[in-house]
Structure 1
Amino acid sequence: MEFNLEDFKVQGIKFNYYFVCKRKLWLFSRGITMENNSGRVMEGKTVHEDSYSRLKTREVLIDDMLRLDIMDKDFVREIKITSKMENVDKMQLLYYLYYLKKLGIEKKGILNYVKEKRNEVVELDKKSELQIEKALVEIKKILNKDKPPRIVKFPYCKKCAYYQFCFVKEAE
């Protein structure tokens, strides 16, 4: 049976948040956004704006769902500060490649890690497509819940824009 993307498609940021923190995904989807108060998010925006500024194909918006950092003839590029969340970055880029493929556009991806001055080529394969479809099904389940998923403490929580929201009781 063919997977129907129309029934499951989500914004790229929500797909990213699924792999970072399911609670963050749910909160963000309900309009609870903490990113504007985060220095780390602001740093990312600055790096993004300053990197590859000469290119004309930056900030490509697809279906009001995906905001591709850079798209050229052969590649979709995602600009990231560091590779600390490399698996998350890779899954987000694979989702973009998958989405484009469903639109009849086949490309490869490149993760540009600016501070590390390195690039990683990412290619969509059948295994990745199945992972993406499974994640999209799970995302839909999470978004349809009445309550947020329980708190799971990750090593990177303290750097998260939602940290105080989730762990306010611990500060007391």
Structure 2
Amino acid sequence: MNITGTHIAYLHTCHRKLWLFANGIQMEHTSDIVAEGKLIGETSYLDRARKYTELELDGIKIDFYDAKNRVIHEVKKTDKVEQAHIAQVKYYLYVLQKNGISDASGLIEYPKMRQTQIVEWEEGDQSLMQGWVQEVKDLISQKNCPPLEKKSICRSCSYFDFCYATESVGNELI
């Protein structure tokens, strides 16, 4: 199985979400929040598709890659899970390096916030990535789904209804 940037991002967001996604339970297609994020990505930089390349390599898909300057452009709706975004771009850099494309960097762009986060390869990232890949493999190969961990980002997750279908707070269902 190829590990994707989504797997790495979910590793840093929620182990349950990662396991569900990797085991074929995908809820993104039902989420208005995911649809809004896709719309932002598609409409924020209209000339980008003409200037940059979509790159598919070893199971990853980079929407906008500036081959001349070796820059990955990743567009995100908000910075709520910024560490997951950084991890995803670092993983892209790792896959590029494994395929002979070195000295690349990344930009995470938050158009609604008018912010940009630079992501660069750092010493020690090679072993960090290998650890993340192994952690993803270990988690997704577990027989049972990891337990629910209630987090502040749950309400905006596409898996919210799935995870909280039977949860209650006091006398109320969440």
TM over 0.5: yes
Would you say 1:114 and 2:111 are equivalent positions? yes
Note the alpha carbon deviations across 1:116-150, whole angstroms, 9 max, x for none: 11212111112222222111111110111111111
Instruction: Quote the Cα distance in structure 2 between the aligned partners of 1:53 and 1:130.
Output: 37
Q: How many residues align?
A: 164
- Structure 2 length normalisation: TM-score? 0.88
**How far has the Cα of 1:82 moved from its partner?**
1.8
* Separation in structure 1 between the aligned mates of residue 125 and residue 32 of structure 2, nearest angstrom: 32
Correspondence 1:32 to 2:32: no
Match of 1:94 in 2: 90
Q: Percent identity?
A: 34
Matched, 1:62 2:53: no
- The answer to whether structure 1 residue 151 and structure 2 residue 148 are counterparts is yes
The alignment yields a C-alpha RMSD, in angstroms, of 1.5
The answer for the alignment partner of 1:4 in structure 2 is none
Query: How far has the Cα of 1:9 moved from its partner?
Result: 4.6
- Between the aligned partners of 2:123 and 2:26, the Cα distance in structure 1 is 34
Deviation at 1:25, TM superposition (A): 0.7
8 Å contact 1:68–1:76 — kept in the other structure? yes
After TM superposition, the structure 1 = structure 2 runs for residues 35-46 of structure 1, keeping only pairs within 5 Å, are 35-46=28-39
> 2:17 & 2:117 partners in 1: Cα distance?
27
Q: State the alpha-carbon separation in 1 of the partners of residues 160 and 78 from structure 2.
A: 20
Preserved CA contact (<8 Å) 1:9 1:136: no
Give the TM-score taking structure 1 as reference length: 0.89
SS at match of 2:55: strand
Query: 2:3 maps to what in 1?
Result: 10
- The Cα shift of 1:53 comes to 2.2
Determine which of 99, 105, 110 is the counterpart of 1:103.
Answer: 99
Task: Map residues 129-168 of structure 1 onto 2, 5 A cutoff.
Answer: 129-168=126-165
1:59 and 1:40 map into 2 onto residues whose CA distance is: 23
1:71 to 61, 65, 68: 65
